[in-house]
Amino acid sequence: MMSNELQDPGNQHALVRLDREGAVATLILNRPDKLNPLDSATISFLRDMVTDLEERPEIRVVRLTGAGKAFSAGGDLAGYLSLYQSPAAFRGFLERFHDLLDCMERSAKIYMAVVNGACVAGGLELLLACDVAVAGKSARIGDGHLNFGQLPGAGGSQRLPRAIGAMGAKFLMLSGEILDAAAAERLGLVNRVFPDAELASRSMALCQAIARHSPAGLKGAKYLVNAGLRDDLQAGLRLELEFVHHYATTEPDAMEGLVAFKEKRPPVFGG
């Protein structure tokens, strides 16, 4: 069960707020005055919320966004001044950040980044751990670490080239360039760009459309892509063959979809 604090959508002072609409939960980074920095406390709080959501099978899709005019402008650079002087504490921070993003990737739930405004450095690393990303027209997205002599430490150097290719990733990392939403869409960092005023409603509509699909099918599609990318093409093709054979012959939702098509009615999926 979720704690009372995490259940309360009216808790305006939480580091991360939670809203829910049907099968869609929305996690809102909630330090707009600081452009939603991903500091140690926020990472730990967000990790706890993701863990709690894992215990809620009725939640199929999770939106991640930011309060105010930013998704997240990245880490707390001022805080790093003291954190870097404690190697053990800094390693613990990096490991917690990695653990959060790994949990999102391993989850059966679908994570969508809803990028409103600045999404830079650690904010980009958070986006890259999501399954889908959409952005408002005024969004600005980039790596930006080297602009302040930093390096991506929460998986950005590994997930970015897998998302947009090695040359594109190295260009963003080395140049420090911050892209507008249209350029980010062309590069493949986001899937759709919406007018700012429509970002919340259209991203929610997309999440609800995804959530209507079979939970087992959503989990399987996410697993096939993520697991397949860990090996070469031939290994991925074998993985797909074995997984889909098992899914089609054992998963009730697979048969329900076919029967519903034959009977000309909407499918009624499990979960």
Q: Where are the alpha helices (DSSP H) in the chain?
A: 4-7, 40-54, 77-83, 87-106, 122-128, 156-164, 166-175, 181-187, 199-211, 215-228, 233-250, 252-262
Q: Residue 7's pLDDT is what?
A: 47
Looking at residue 39, its pLDDT comes to 92
Q: For residue 219, what pLDDT is reported? A: 95
Chain segment 153-182, per-residue pLDDT in tens: 999 999 999 999 999 999 999 999 999 999
Say which amino acid occupies 247: Y
Residues of the chain with pLDDT under 50: 1-10
Please give the structure tokens belonging to residue 187: 């590069």
pLDDT of residue 75: 84
DSSP assignment letter at 14 = S
| pLDDT of res. 77 | 82
d(CA 109, CA 54): 8
Q: What is the pLDDT of residue 100?
A: 97
Q: What is the pLDDT of residue 11?
A: 57
Q: 177 φ, ψ to 5°?
A: -65, 140
pLDDT at residue number 14: 86
Q: Which architecture, in CATH terms, is 4-211?
A: Alpha-Beta Complex (3.90)
